[in-house]
Amino acid sequence: MVAEELNITKAAKRLGYTQPTITLQIQSLEKELKHTLLTRVGKKTLLTAAGKKLKDHVDSLFIFIDKIEKDMEELHGPSGILTIAASEYYCTQHLSPIVKAYLEIYPTVKISLLPLNSVHAIKSVRDHVADIAIIANECNDNDISKTFLEEEKAFLVASSRISKERSFQEILREDTFISYDYHCSFSNIIEQYFKKAEFQPQSTIMVGGSDEMIKRAVLNGTGYAILGQNAIENEIQDGSIRILQHVSESIITSAINLKVRSDEPNILTFNEFLQTAWPVSNNLSEKLN
């Protein structure tokens, strides 16, 4: 504190000690180190070369001490803020009940959900904005740890209203394809589907990165789309959406985090909890198979 203030009286006031007490402590330290740490030039107090060197070491020691305290605190279990990036669909449909159940076990953790599509969620983990991301996208980078959660079927679908008494080819030829934006989780799946089908939509409407928005557009008869089975399970069962074709590429849902952070209590315990709590629905798959 003296080295920061360069004024013993001010340092004493900040520390809550008397000025003579601080002076005695400095003198005792100088005697032990056999170096003068402070010098006066006119009315100014300055650090000597030994004082500057000692301050550098002390600053490093405080950083190390903070790390020791953090490591010791982490042994008590998860605490503090855990930020999770995921799509709007994952946040509302899956993560809300999972987070509630997790917090019943670890009440000292505060969880922040960050609605982002998979591409931006991956970047948020890299930039240390999010601790964990739930993605439906490929991420095979060496510095990323990946926890598998679910493999989900994808389908080309249209509303039963616009597909009634019309052939698959007529729908493709006459209707609009409703797409996510270019940075969405499904970009690669969509691209691969049309490449294998050797067909490109006559017209396309991009409505953003929300599964719910795409589904609503399909139900409103705006056009046809590629959607994951979880997002449309109820609509398939009640007959409001019709499957036009199975998409060969599956949607792989994973939780990711930086490998160097895998052992942090918040990340470790949430990943372990996710693997047992993630809701995998097999009802639709069984019926379709």
Show which of 49, 73, 97 is a domain's final residue.
73
Q: Residue 217 sits in a domain of what CATH number?
A: 3.40.190.290
The 8-class DSSP code of residue 260 comes to: G
Tokens of 77: 């279990």
pLDDT band at 74 (very low <50, low <70, confident <90, very high): low
CATH number of the domain within which 262 lies:
3.40.190.10
Q: How many domains does the chain have?
A: 3
Distance CA 272, CA 68 (A): 25
Q: Is 72 exposed, middle or buried (0-12, 13-18, 19+ CB in 10 A)?
A: exposed
Residues 245 and 213 grouped into a single domain: yes
- How do residues 24-70 score in pLDDT, each as one tens digit? 999 999 999 999 999 999 889 999 999 999 999 999 999 999 888 87
Q: What is the residue range of 54's domain?
A: 2-73
Q: Which of 26, 47, 73 is the last residue of a domain?
A: 73
- Examine the domain organization and report whether 245 and 272 are in the same domain: no
Alpha-helical (H) ranges within the chain are 2-5, 8-15, 19-33, 49-74, 88-89, 96-105, 118-126, 160-163, 168-174, 187-197, 211-219, 229-238, 265-277, 283-288
Domain check: are 117 and 138 in the same one?
Answer: yes
Clarify whether residues 86 and 210 are in a common domain.
no
* pLDDT tens digits for range 194-242: 888 888 888 888 876 677 888 999 999 999 999 988 889 899 999 999 9
Whether residue 126 is found in the same domain as residue 167: no
Q: Does residue 96 share a domain with residue 65? A: no
Residue 59, domain CATH: 1.10.10.10
Among 73, 107, 134, where does a domain finish?
73
pTM to 2 decimals?
Answer: 0.63
